[in-house]
Amino acid sequence: MTAGVFVTGTDTDCGKTFVACEILRAVRARGLSASGFKPVAAGAVERDGKLRNDDALALMEASGPKKYPYELVNPYCLPAAVSPHLAADEVGASIDIVQILDAFEKLALGSDFVVAEGAGGWRVPLAPGLDIEGLVLRLRLPVVLVVGLRLGCLNHAQISEEAILASGARLIGWVGTQVDPAMSHLAGNLKTLDERLATPCLGWFPHPATVGVVPVPRSLDVAALLSFTQAV
């Protein structure tokens, strides 16, 4: 089994890319080579005549000096910022899991650790008969759940965790990211998440605008994360 993790989230724009990049940097700081992987990205702009997704580019930057071709890091780059299956339909594309698995294997061969980032949440559809859950089960990676800290996160986090565990995937734990700088009762929500989620908190990050005025952040627990993978 390849050493690495799959980063999923409670929703879109919940901080998955930020957390994935933090994991990549933390793994590299321990002397391991790490590669980011964005199997499917919906929402891209044309740069030098080619479609590029900002999340995939951020993962490439966080992966360090060893560079892989963009098409290997992000096999499916779709222009519309909508659900991937709709974005693919819009341009007449078909998301093929075999192509994704092939790209993943090539990245894994050249890296000690691969950090894959999903699109949206756990049950986002990718193609007929395929969603994020099915992709993760084929990749056979343990999962990190990113909880976007905002109103509604308690419900979304519990439902997402239940779905991940029910699928048979290995859920390492969750990471909180404060996406709403004005979130009310942040400390209380964090405490409730700790109490109600079955898996441990691996860290949480405040919104940049709230540093110094919110509860003390919890640093990313890289040791705990790596203990669940092959890179120990």
The catalytic residues are 38
Phi, psi angles (nearest 5°) of residue 143: -115, 140
Q: What does DSSP assign to residue 94?
A: -
Reading the block at residue 30, the tokens are 């321990």
Q: Find the angle CA(23)-CA(24)-CA(29) to the nearest 5 degrees.
A: 95
Question: At what angle are helices 132-139 and 97-109 packed, to 10 degrees?
Answer: 40
Q: Give yes or no for a contact between 78 and 42, defined as CB atoms under 8 angstroms apart.
A: yes
Cα–Cα distance measured from residue 177 to residue 75, given in angstroms and rounded to the nearest whole number: 27
- Residues 77/83/89/92 CA torsion (nearest 10 deg): 0
Strand ranges in 74-170 using DSSP code E only, listed in sequence order = 76-78, 113-121, 125-127, 130-131, 143-149
Helix (H) or strand (E) run with residue 54 in it: helix 54-62
Q: Which of 110, 192, 147, 141 is nearest to 18 (CA)?
A: 147
